[in-house]
Structure 1
Amino acid sequence: MMPARMKTLARPTMPGIAKRTRSVWLLVTLALLAVLCALSVTIGTRDVAFADIIAALQGHVETIGQAAVALRIPRTLLALLAGAALSLAGAVMQGVTRNPLADPGILGVNMGASLAVVIGVVWFDITSAYAFIWTAIAGSAAAAVFVYTIGSLGRGGATPLKLALAGAATSVAFSSLVIAIVLPRSDIAGGIRSWQIGGVGGATFERISPMLPFLLVGFAVSLLSARKLNSLALGDELASGLGERVAVARATAAFGAILLCAATTAVCGPIGFLGLVVPHVCRLLVGIDYRWLLPFSALGGACLLIAADVVGRIVARPAELDVGIITALIGAPFFIWVVRRQKVREL
């Protein structure tokens, strides 16, 4: 066994960016998040006065403007939580699989949750929010295990390319199954199709509150996995030599990511590409140390999803575009760029 002091000395310092630079980016990101939250409660199909915003924040809904702001507040909170959860889950999945293309959507986790929820609704008539979330967790976990098993077959084990291909194929297959299950049920088909796009419209505090315990556990487990992900980034053999239990570290971090994906998908629907785009941008800002990358990914994801929601309200006035459409328009070209730039290398 390696003594504790030797383990500390043997563990390489993560290369990256100066702490002062990271602190500056942290302040910039927090300021941007505050501005976007303010814009989210201000901008919509109806223009509102500043006095209405202040009154609505104090709980008043006497005027139409105040009522409009009151509806935007939980919507903003849901976008913040969902964006943070999906981006953090994407960063964790990239660390667990050492795959630059890992993302809850690309690896089939979101569609696994979606398929499970649709089966629960159509075949078992589930209606409660907690039933939705637990069903989504079961579907996400099953999809993650299935994709990792398929990607591990053959020579070389679970390579980034095989995981990406297995995840893409699984997502397509699950999406087809969802359509096949919903097609005969014209009474609920419209609602499920709208939910499948992915959005935060119609958010209420009653819809948000059931997901909070699951998100809290998911955030805690994922953020506490940062040091383990730093060890895994060195390679399995070196991480094991430093005393890390590789299988346990991977399973623990993946559990946190699955909780975040499942709870978010159950409420918002499968929102894609967020977990791919944000972690890559954050690496450019704060480096590869997961102790910084994970919280920055959460903050960056919250910023991006709130911004996407605001843009969706503006571009199609008086109608709206769901955030799932906006993130897909951003994420698809970014996905192609990552494939060309990284050439599907391991992280």
Structure 2
Amino acid sequence: MHLLQYIDDQGKRAVGVTRNGQTHRINGVSSTYELVQAALGAGSGLGAAVEARGIGAPVDKLALATEGRLLTPIDHPDPAHLHVTGTGLTHLGSAATRDAMHKANGDKPAGELTDSMKMFRMGLENGKPKAGEKGVQPEWFYKGNGHIVAHPGKPIPSPSFALDAGEEPEIAGIYVIDADGQPRRLGFALGNEFSDHVTERMNYLYLAHSKLRACSFGPELRVGDLPRHIEGKSRIIRDGQVVWEKPFLSGEDNMSHTIANLEYHHFKYDLFCQPGDVHVHMFGTATLSFADGISNRTGDTFEIEESQFGLPLRNPIRVEAEKPVVVAGLY
């Protein structure tokens, strides 16, 4: 079962459900968040909540995408209560580009492990603990709240001070915190964890700065567990032509951590277990156009697709104009 949010023909928000290749509007709800709260209130799952409301008219997902009427598959009524975070160095092969960055900057002599490679090896050794045991914690970063999320099909803004505008094709876990502070996993979606790799390459301590960028996820929320093997395509389209394309792998068969271990090390913090909050957590990637020398620019379009997640995620880049920063006193 997949869920998506969109703007209907009357300009109002709506939620659709895809099952057995058919998409229909869900009656009586205007947001996925509303549907989730109904499921929590009834003590049921999302499937039962959909059945309780019933389905209405069929929905043409491709038309919605073409007309720019798709929304992210979940949001929060108050964007400050949606948290976007992520983990890095979690996929087999994901350390290669980062390690090369550090060595190119002379961070470590030849033959000595960089900090990135050390952390990657920690994941290989203890990122998939046995049931009931705790594994090693991964690299973790904060991207922002709901204000930095671009809807599918809409431009991802890159700030004027950015040195790079690079895509990161990933899988995002989608969670809502229930009234008791318990994280409740809804499912997974395609994600573009947009980052500034040139800034990161300058010094790995700039990683936090490089991640404070916009992102996008969706268009569809795949309800349920994550498939063990995910193999999609990441593309950059410029002036109607594909200028870069590469497969990306995810799922636990291609990762150095389990999803459960990554979830534990995120939700072990009480800060991230506040009732009502939504969490979008990016699980990392091993595929970057930046590693192949691609420099993206305004008008380029990112396209990330994987058939198990429904519609592809497409977003153009928009470089923003410079904004003066003025700090005014209030004494």
State the TM-score, normalized to the length of structure 2.
0.28
- Which has more helix, going by share of residues? 1
State the TM-score, normalized to the length of structure 1.
0.27
